[in-house]
A and B are shown apart, each in its own frame.
Chain A
Amino acid sequence: MSILVFLIGLSIVVLIGAGVVLFWAVDHGQFDDMETPGLLPLADADAVVPPDQARAATPAHAAPDEAR
């Protein structure tokens, strides 16, 4: 009987914990976009080059600044 009370108490604590975590996640936008994050592991996002460096690397004929 006492083990039952203990386990049920534990399950309620876990339940409340799960609820708190879920509320936090929802409030922090974790469920706002359900599609893009699925791509993250497939992409090599560390390779992002800051735009000023990227500008130097772009082939001359296409450098967007040239047109202005």
Chain B
Amino acid sequence: MSGNGDGCWHCGEALPRDPPLAHVAGEAHPVCCPGCRAAAEWIAALGLADYYRLREHAAARPPDVDETARAAQAFSRPELARHLVHDRPDGSAETLVVVEGLRCAACSWLIEHGVGALPGVGQVAVNGSARRARITFDPARVALPAIVDAFARLGYRALPLDAAALDDARGREARTAMKRLAVAGFGAMQAMMYASALYFGALDDLDPVARELFRWLGFAVATPVVVYAGVPFFAGAWRLLRARRLGMDVPVALAIILIYAGSVVEVLRGTGEVYFESVSMFVFFLLIGRYLEMRARHRAGDLTDALARSVPQVALRLAADGSTTRVGAFELAPGDRVLVSAGMLVPADGVLESAACRVDESLLTGESTPVGKRTGDALCAGSSVVDAAAVVRVERTGADTVISSIVALAARAASERPRIAQAGERAAARFVARVLTLAALTALGWLVIDPSHAFTATVAVLVVSCPCAFALAAPAAVTRALSVLAARGVLVVRPDALEALAGATHVMFDKTGTLTEPWLEVDRVETGAGIARDEALALAAALARTSTHPVARAIATALPATTLAVLDATSEAGAGITGRVGERELRLGHAGFALRDPAARDATTYGDDAVVLADARGVVAVLHVRERIREGARAAVTSLRSAGLEVMLVSGDTTTKVAALAGALGIEAWRARVDPAGKLAWLDALRGEGARVVAVGDGINDAPILAGADVGVAMASGAAIAQTASDIVLARDDPRALASTHALAKRTLATLLVNQRWALVYNLTAVPLAALGFVPPWLAALGMSASSLVVVLNALRLGREPPIAPPVVPVPAQATP
């Protein structure tokens, strides 16, 4: 899937009227900007043009190479390099970066070869799912700035992480889990093989020596399974017991120990039955569930990376004499003055010292329209200055900044959330407790009647009731639901969120970016006398194309095909754009600016959201710009409501805008002008009344409620921190997916309960027979396998109903802010 016909060859975005051409392998391809051209030609010059053939998604728009290179120079400062580069004993150095713009496997391939070709770079290991790359290099031949630069030229932004992050806890966890799973799998297969020899041998008189051999072989393969692969269950049980709680791990660990110990005793005594295959299969099945859960958790990314992506690592410190030095953001102290150039991120919280400018705080608030700031106003770290360079006096840095405190608030909300005990876990724990009681009673009974049978019968009870079907009942249903949802673009990070979702009573939506698109659109156009709508729109769009202001962008996209040429276009911050089309002098902006009449701005004639296009003679057109309601928002609200959920809207935006949206979607409960702490307070109040709340949002300001709600749902196009705080991420930004996820969650829970009832019925029939000594081992094993199979097949029925939202072409499941 290479360049498509109508977009940029490199990044797939819309082409300007007269696109630059990138020369790749002797062919000229249209691209949208010089940045894309440079990246495409650089990739081709490295001999890596295959990338365009291999990729599944268009590339992200490349960062500005020169700006990145200038910023990267700061990484060579010893103070900063010490934090970011780790020296290895063999004299080489190692660094870990978060890669922004990494979208598919072809990107990993491109980076491994493109960066690896740099002289002095040793190994480049890209972890596509974590969006991280680990680079080993020779510090004598190449330095960190050159490496960051190599990423930038390929079209990716590389953000070096603190060297402490090199201690890759997740990588180790994944590797250990894989080994345990493999040991359990191998062991279970072998144990099953030896066990079937015993079962079928028992039917046609197996040679006693061979019988003895197979029993010892079973012991040999089951021992590593229990002693090595089973460790997570023993560790979990030990943690629970020390905390004086009884979770799933306690009965599971007990069952493993009892069945294994019982079989070992029988092997040593040379009598009775052994159940090594049961215990191995049991451990293997449970580990599969744990492994899938871990994979989902790791795919969600972590808070360190999210913060690194949101706040700049370097700052331009202003000295008293006006000279600037690039320093690490952590070196800043309150009282320092920093220069933030247009388009760059503010490195620390502070006060604006220079003239008025517009600031994009969308990362924090989710509201995409830049906010005007005047001298003396407070600026937050992580917001970006849109139109002019700003001088900021630093007041708070690092962990004291607003963004860090919101992240901390999210972390605390997540840790304080009372986990609802999982129904599957509760039932399984109860069941195992009953089985253990029954086993104890069996042992007692047989001790009274015939002590020689006591041990054998007790172990038989444990095995026949082997909680395999029970252990499988929940994971089989949940795993099936997770894979169905993943195919529909819904990434479930925390599997127990499905159960919480099924039991939810309220849904709390954020406004901007969640129910509305994060950008604006032209709603209505009122034209002056004798002017056609299209003509006015064409003029406005031509002017608007010269600016990056969100309102201008909305107007430009309203009529992208316009071919009018604009001369002498200049834009005035916070006011509008002037330019000439032919001989006509045009002004586009708020009423006061466009009509050169300051009084007109305050006049309510045009309304808040009006953009006026005027020429020397007066008003040409008035354009009304509004937020666009997301496609499917209405359907989502309706279907959630018909599913019995109460839908609410909460936003930091103005009362009029929130009320309008609530009215349009038919939401009765809404609150406007609420800050993150206020949202959390409302959430807690609802929870206090017994509500189970699903929170849906996309901005960092939503992170606390996403983390604190029973289920947090984030949009994939939103802030990374919001996604990290959530349990479910909607990859296609379609709110309807939430409704179908809710429906599937309910069905999953129903399937889970059916499965458990089935397992219970099976056990109720089989256990008494086993307790009385009527069930031969081969029959017990057959029954056990059949009951597990029924459970799995029942789970596979999930997801055969069509989803509520229509299936769409997959989009990259990550955001590139």
Contact = CB atoms under 8 A, between A and B. Distances in A.
Contacts of B53: 42-43
B175 A62 contact: no
Contacts of B117: 48-51, 54
Given A33-B126, A35-B105, A51-B117, A62 B42 contact: yes
Interface in B186-223: 186, 190, 207, 209-210, 213, 217, 220-221
A33 B217 CA distance: 35
A10 to B, nearest CB: 13
Contacts of A35: 104-105, 108, 128
Interface stretch (B177-185, B634-642, B798-806): B177-185
B186 A15 contact: yes
B153 A39 contact: no
B277 interface: no
B343 interface: no
Contacts of B127: 32-33
Interface string A2-23: 0011001001100100110011
Contact of A49 (B23, B41, B47, B69): B47
Contacts of B112: 36
B109 interface: yes
B137 to A, nearest CB: 14
The secondary-structure label for the interface of chain B is helix
Interface in B116-132: 117-119, 125-128
A27 B183 CA distance: 15
Interface string B40-83: 01100111101101100000000001100100000000000000
Contact of A32 (B48, B50, B174): B174
B34 A68 contact: no
B24 to A, nearest CB: 10
Contact of B182 (A19, A55, A59, A68): A19
Contacts of B207: 1
B340 to A, nearest CB: 22
B547 to A, nearest CB: 24
Contacts of B66: 67-68
Contacts of A26: 175, 178-179, 182
A45 B128 CA distance: 19
Nearest to B176: A26
A12 to B, nearest CB: 7
A11 B213 CA distance: 14
Nearest to A9: B217
A64 B38 contact: yes
A39 B105 contact: yes
Contact of A68 (B38, B48, B69, B150): B69
B47 A43 contact: no
Q: Which of B37, B119, B127, B175 lies at the interface centre, i.e. has the most chain A CB atoms within 10 A of its CB? A: B175
A40 B41 contact: no
Interface string B154-180: 000000000000000001001100110
Contacts of A15: 186, 190, 221
A64 to B, nearest CB: 6
B693 interface: no
Task: Name, among A35, A39, A52, A57, the residue most crowded by chain B CB atoms within 10 Å (CB to CB).
Answer: A39
A62 to B, nearest CB: 5
A33 to B, nearest CB: 6
Contact of B210 (A4, A31, A50): A4
B113 interface: yes
Contact of B47 (A8, A39, A40, A48): A48
A48 B105 CA distance: 18
A26 B182 CA distance: 10
A22 B53 CA distance: 33
Interface string B383-427: 000000000000000000000000000000000000000000000
B46 A54 contact: yes
Given A36-B105, A40-B109, A43-B109, A57 B45 contact: yes
A32 B221 CA distance: 27
B106 interface: yes
A8 B178 contact: no
24 contacts: A1-B210, A12-B220, A18-B186, A22-B182, A32-B127, A33-B127, A35-B104, A36-B112, A38-B105, A39-B54, A42-B53, A43-B50, A44-B47, A44-B50, A48-B46, A48-B113, A49-B46, A51-B46, A51-B117, A51-B118, A51-B150, A62-B41, A67-B66, A68-B66
Interface of A: 1, 4-5, 8, 11-12, 15, 18-19, 22-23, 26-27, 29, 31-33, 35-36, 38-40, 42-45, 47-52, 54-55, 57-59, 62, 64, 67-68
Interface of B: 22-23, 34, 37-38, 41-42, 45-48, 50-51, 53-54, 65-66, 69, 104-106, 108-109, 112-113, 117-119, 125-128, 150, 153, 171, 174-175, 178-179, 182-183, 186, 190, 207, 209-210, 213, 217, 220-221
